[in-house]
A = this chain, B = another copy of it.
Amino acid sequence: MKLLEERIKKDGRVYPGNILKVDSFLNHQIDVSLMDQIGDAFYEAYKDCGITKILTIEASGIAIACSTARRFGVPLLFAKKTRSLNIGNDVYTATVSSFTYKQDYQVVISKRYLSETDHVVIVDDFLATGNAMLGLADLCKMAGASVDGIGICIEKGFQNGGKQLRDMGYSVTSLAVIDSMTDDGKIVFRS
């Protein structure tokens, strides 16, 4: 998605350790018009799959999931990262190792909102190690739901997550794939 690559080049900031900050438009301050174009792209990729639900994980995925769910005309469901006191016991849980935060956490969804009749697109802002997406795919598996696609805004192509998910048979649509970043701020996109 040319538009997203251009926005990353214009407004992204690269920090040592392969950290890309896109918090001016994607995951802290959010450009809703860009989210809508991202939602359009995921819709184009999976519009013929009979999608019934958009699944994401709090918090950065929610805005992307909103625009995507609106385009498909289906509800979105966001997995919570810790067991809320209020969420009840009737939940599916999976464990995820966070690359960013260097610790494990639980992802949790209520059993009420995902079942074997669901066809799901999972969306998120970043794909790096793929651990969060694997956790969400596990939740779908527990529910018997079909994961018809995984829609990613920015894939760090130099990390293993995308390859691993594709090798497992998942359809991964990444709108911008970064092959390399240098500490002085240069970003090379996969063509």
Contact = CB atoms under 8 A, between A and B. Distances in A.
Contact of A86 (B25, B35, B58, B100): B100
Interface of A: 19, 21, 23-25, 28-33, 35-36, 58-59, 62-63, 66-67, 69-70, 75-78, 80, 84-88, 100-102, 109-110, 112-113
A107 to B, nearest CB: 12
Nearest to A70: B32
A42 to B, nearest CB: 14
Contacts of A25: 75
A66 B113 contact: no
Given A24-B112, A58-B58, A110-B23, A66 B100 contact: no
A152 B36 CA distance: 24
